[in-house]
A and B are shown apart, each in its own frame.
Chain A
């Protein structure tokens, strides 16, 4: 009955009908990147836009490999387009090799070699007030960095804490914590990690390294970067070897001006498990 179709559908139905049409998938290739956009419905019947970005690379390989690269696909892949098919090839989540470091901290072989180069400490009669090194405070390499400021801040904090301890009630759950800071439980394995945010776009790893190396040995440093441009995304994670160093870094770097911006430094939060 064609007549039935001529009735004006209600606006609610129209929306339903609109959802039925998916925009066609598109593929754009520009400056070494291939961007594939497609639309589909997820499990809740909601429209989802999927954007996949591929980097196109050129590689120089041996003749036999290059020849094999020209082979056409066969079997179940015969109808696949050039490039990885998302149905069979995906990039999984980032994983890291977990190094088992039971005895690593105390006696690394390269540390031992460095120790040999240092003059024996018994001959040294002076000590730097800033970094406890065996040089005059005047010549301290960390003089202009945060360690020096951290020292003064620490002294102020200590005085403050004394006052606070005398006349303020501290609930047992937060006793022993730095007030005002939300610390993850000590048992977590990345308690030495801090998050530095509000970095400028032009910050590079070396800048961050300069910023934090004064506080103690750094185990790992990660600067979030925009995939396409390589610019900094504005935050970085630093894993210290020791928790005390990390705490020191937070205390003195939080609110510190860097590159016309004010840094925000805090403990790295545990990833949200969902």
Chain B
């Protein structure tokens, strides 16, 4: 496969995401301009100019009308996708680490860092009508997180819950009607760097600095599967059509220069969902992979790395022909 290399960022990629139909690919990096690309040919549609610092997170609603981004300039912004205009800006006390639209996009949630004397907080805002007034609106729900800070977040089923992944490795499911904990599990020992839902939303995969990625049930937070590597995992994504998980990671950028350059640590690694066994690797990045996303049709995937590149890979036929070897008796 000949990957498309998208060079729209000056600094490390922090998150990439496809829209629901997969024709657009969004990328956020530690520079201040999130990008949007046509996923088919890698043509850049535009950049969202306005943030004043690192972009940590982004999300697009299911109709591909609005984009939400959060970053190190202590703001969460809503954008019009068609024109790239900044519609509303929500100021917070510390940098915004995660942000997500609910599936219906009637609400959006974002979390802030515990920094500068301010606690880590979760905000839920009303996004039924997105215009300038959203900037001044009070959140419909907000609560403080007293223990370790939130490093990743997803919406649970039917937009009724939020699941947060924490720096200490905890997973907590919150009830949105009360803002109370429903479930709390601690299966990871280090920071949870990424969480991504399966296509039907019944399961999600976590990626953690403790060198593993794990598969959980969305409703009960029951641990289903575990994928082990020997490097910190920065991102994991589930294939929408096959029983495959792709893991991306590698050692921290700050440690790269102090260790030997052994090959094979910045690969995207493909695991079988059920058998938890690795069956393939794809090389390409010069640094650790920070974010991975499967195209909704499952025929290509994109990875964004610490090297600042986004690479879009269209799978070869050999990937689809591959059958995992197992004893059928």
B318 & A97 in contact (Cβ 8 Å cutoff): yes
Closest A residue to B48 using CB positions: A75
- Which residues does chain B contribute within 8 Å of A68, judged by CB atoms? 23-24, 64, 82
Q: Does B279 contact A (CB under 8 A)?
A: yes
Interface size class of chain B, counting residues whose CB lies under 8 Å from the partner chain: 35 or more
Q: Does B328 contact A (CB under 8 A)?
A: yes
We find that the number of chain A residues with CB closer than 8 angstroms to chain B is 39
A103 & B270 in contact (Cβ 8 Å cutoff): no
Q: Does B44 contact A (CB under 8 A)?
A: yes
Closest A residue to B322 using CB positions: A99
Chain B stretch 276-295: residues in CB contact (< 8 A) with chain A: 278-284
Q: Does A122 contact B (CB under 8 A)?
A: no
- Which residues does chain B contribute within 8 Å of A110, judged by CB atoms? 323
B46 & A91 in contact (Cβ 8 Å cutoff): no
User: Contact check: which of B41, B283, B325 meets A108 at CB < 8 Å?
Assistant: B325
Chain B stretch 221-250: residues in CB contact (< 8 A) with chain A: none
Bound-state CA distance A61–B64 (Å) is: 15
B33 & A89 in contact (Cβ 8 Å cutoff): no
Q: Does A123 contact B (CB under 8 A)?
A: no
- Which residues does chain B contribute within 8 Å of A90, judged by CB atoms? 4-5, 7
Q: Does B70 contact A (CB under 8 A)?
A: no
- Which residues does chain B contribute within 8 Å of A92, judged by CB atoms? 2-5, 284, 311
- Which residues does chain A contribute within 8 Å of B281, judged by CB atoms? 97-98, 100
Bound-state CA distance A93–B23 (Å) is: 23
Q: Does B130 contact A (CB under 8 A)?
A: no
- Which residues does chain A contribute within 8 Å of B315, judged by CB atoms? 97
- Which residues does chain A contribute within 8 Å of B253, judged by CB atoms? none
Closest A residue to B319 using CB positions: A97
A109 & B325 in contact (Cβ 8 Å cutoff): yes
B45 & A73 in contact (Cβ 8 Å cutoff): yes
Chain A stretch 33-74: residues in CB contact (< 8 A) with chain B: 59, 61-62, 64-65, 68-69, 71, 73-74
Bound-state CA distance A107–B6 (Å) is: 41
Bound-state CA distance A96–B282 (Å) is: 6
B316 & A97 in contact (Cβ 8 Å cutoff): yes
Q: Does B220 contact A (CB under 8 A)?
A: no
Q: Known contacts A74-B84, A90-B5, A91-B5; decide if A97 and B43 are in contact (CB<8 Å).
A: no
Q: Closest Cβ of chain B: how far from A219's Cβ, in Å?
A: 10
Closest B residue to A55 using CB positions: B41
B45 & A100 in contact (Cβ 8 Å cutoff): no
Bound-state CA distance A108–B328 (Å) is: 11
Bound-state CA distance A218–B316 (Å) is: 18
A-B contact count (CB 8 A): 123
Closest B residue to A107 using CB positions: B325
Bound-state CA distance A35–B81 (Å) is: 31
- Which residues does chain B contribute within 8 Å of A89, judged by CB atoms? 4-7, 37, 41-44
Of A62, A92, A97, A220, chain B has the most CB atoms within 10 Å of the CB of: A97
Give 11 pairs: A residue, B residue, CB < 8 Å, sorted on A.
A64-B63, A74-B46, A76-B33, A76-B44, A83-B41, A89-B6, A95-B2, A96-B282, A97-B315, A97-B319, A100-B279
Q: Is the interface of B mostly helix, strand, loop or mixed?
A: loop
Q: Closest Cβ of chain A: how far from B323's Cβ, in Å?
A: 7
Q: Known contacts A95-B313, A97-B319; decide if A85 and B43 are in contact (CB<8 Å).
A: yes
Q: Closest Cβ of chain A: how far from B5's Cβ, in Å?
A: 4
- Which residues does chain A contribute within 8 Å of B7, judged by CB atoms? 87-90
User: Contact check: which of A71, A97, A109 meets B328 at CB < 8 Å?
Assistant: A109
- Which residues does chain B contribute within 8 Å of A64, judged by CB atoms? 21, 63-64
Q: Closest Cβ of chain A: how far from B71's Cβ, in Å?
A: 16
Q: Closest Cβ of chain B: how far from A264's Cβ, in Å?
A: 27
Q: Does B83 contact A (CB under 8 A)?
A: yes
- Which residues does chain B contribute within 8 Å of A3, judged by CB atoms? none
Q: Does B206 contact A (CB under 8 A)?
A: no
Bound-state CA distance A84–B280 (Å) is: 30
Bound-state CA distance A59–B318 (Å) is: 24
- Which residues does chain B contribute within 8 Å of A98, judged by CB atoms? 280-283
Q: Closest Cβ of chain A: how far from B294's Cβ, in Å?
A: 14
Bound-state CA distance A99–B64 (Å) is: 36
Bound-state CA distance A107–B44 (Å) is: 46
Q: Closest Cβ of chain B: how far from A117's Cβ, in Å?
A: 16
User: Contact check: which of B41, B283, B284 meets A84 at CB < 8 Å?
Assistant: B41
Q: Mark A92-121, 1 if CB is under 8 A from B, else 0.
A: 111111111001100111100000000000
Q: Does B8 contact A (CB under 8 A)?
A: yes
Chain B stretch 291-329: residues in CB contact (< 8 A) with chain A: 311, 313, 315-316, 318-319, 322-323, 325-326, 328
Q: Does B140 contact A (CB under 8 A)?
A: no
- Which residues does chain A contribute within 8 Å of B4, judged by CB atoms? 89-92
Bound-state CA distance A109–B324 (Å) is: 9
User: Contact check: which of A62, A80, A220 meets B44 at CB < 8 Å?
Assistant: A80
Q: Closest Cβ of chain B: how far from A229's Cβ, in Å?
A: 19
Closest B residue to A83 using CB positions: B43
A103 & B325 in contact (Cβ 8 Å cutoff): yes
Q: Does B1 contact A (CB under 8 A)?
A: yes
Bound-state CA distance A195–B218 (Å) is: 51
Q: Does A77 contact B (CB under 8 A)?
A: yes
Q: Known contacts A68-B64, A75-B84, A107-B325; decide if A95 and B43 are in contact (CB<8 Å).
A: no
Q: Mark B5-25, 1 if CB is under 8 A from A, else 0.
A: 111100000000000010110
